[in-house]
Amino acid sequence: MSASALGEPAASGGLALPFAAVRARLGLVALLFAIAAAAWWSTVDRMRGMDAGPGTRLGTLGWFVGVWVVMMAAMMFPSVAPTAALYARMTQSRSPVAPLVFAGGYLVTWAAAGVGAFAISDLGGRAVGDALAWHRGGRWFCGAVLAIAAVYELTPFKDVCLGKCRSPLGFLLGAWRDGVSGALQMGAKHGAWCVGCCWALMAALFALGVMSIAWMAFIAGLIAVEKLIPSRRLATYGTAALLLALGVLLVVAPDLIPGFTVPGSGTM
């Protein structure tokens, strides 16, 4: 890859190109944050009053996937913005729409993950029936999901996936594809690494109440902390401790969890 592709000043452009490139990258980051803010607003509007705790009905596949994609834009775009900005810098002399296509490919992968989550929830619910109702095995099942999510935070695979998210330059250089189609492929591949990094946190969201705005914000905060703070070990161990504590509380005293909706209680 040429120096100009990486954002070095062009010989004929003097200082104009770097300033223009900086403005473009800042504009892209601002756009992604604006999309995330709009997605949060839309999610709050559409999901108001829908939180029934763990086991909340997901509706039809089409409705859920639509809501899920908006949720992922709200939750993930702020933490993926640095990668998209770096990609924009590396493609500043190429298609100006490529960074947006990159972000679109990222969402495509998360949409596929949403379809998978819906299938697991729907087929699993039909298979076990009322065995996982809250007043039967549901509390223990959700506690186990949170415990598994906590353990996954400390696994080598989590570490590898998180490394790809925390080192965008290494990912982009290793996965580089030219053109708009390449942007779509790279975005989808980056999304796949992100799914590998965050699937357990999303499972924890289902265990806590997937239609809860408060728990969405909590999980989004954990994702941002893991991807952005300097100490990777502090982030993953801290997240694991929080998830494990929530799992224990959910089993022994769910009423003590702030913002948690106990199924059937009718209160938040």
Residue 167 lies in a domain: yes
Residue 10 lies in a domain: no
| pLDDT for residue 23 | 62
Give the predicted TM-score (pTM) of the model: 0.81
| Residue 225 included in any domain | yes
What is the pLDDT at residue 8? 40
Q: Where are the alpha helices (DSSP H) in 91-155?
A: 98-128, 139-152
Residue-by-residue DSSP string for 6-19: TTPPPTTTTTHHHH
Long-range contacts from 174-183, C-beta under 8 angstroms, 24+ separation: 176/1, 178/94, 179/94, 179/95, 179/98, 180/95, 180/97, 180/98, 180/101, 182/98, 183/87, 183/91, 183/95, 183/98, 183/99, 183/101, 183/102, 183/105
Q: 262 lies in a domain?
A: no
pLDDT of residue 124: 78
Smallest CA-to-CA distance from 164 within 184, 192, 200 is with: 192
pLDDT at 93: 53
Contact 209, 53 (CB under 8 A): yes
Low-confidence stretches of the chain (pLDDT beneath 50): 1-17, 267-268
Cα distance between residue 18 and residue 118, in whole Å: 45
Q: Give a yes or no: residue 119 inside a domain.
A: yes
Residues 6+ apart with CB under 8 A from 146: 204, 207, 208, 243, 244, 246, 247, 250
Question: For residue 175, what is the DSSP state?
Answer: T
Is residue 166 situated within a structural domain?
Answer: yes
Q: Identify whether 264 is part of a domain.
A: no
Res 191: pLDDT: 92
Long-range interactions of 47-51: CB distance < 8 A, separation 24+: 47/211, 47/213, 50/211, 51/209, 51/211, 51/212, 51/213, 51/261, 51/268
266 falls within a domain: no
Q: Which residues contact 110 (CB under 8 A, 6 or more apart)?
A: 68, 69, 72, 76, 191, 194, 195
State how many domains the chain has.
1
Residue type, 183: A
Give the pLDDT of residue 200. Answer: 94
Q: What is the pLDDT of residue 201?
A: 94
Helix, strand or coil for residue 115? helix
Domain membership of residue 74 as a residue range: 16-256
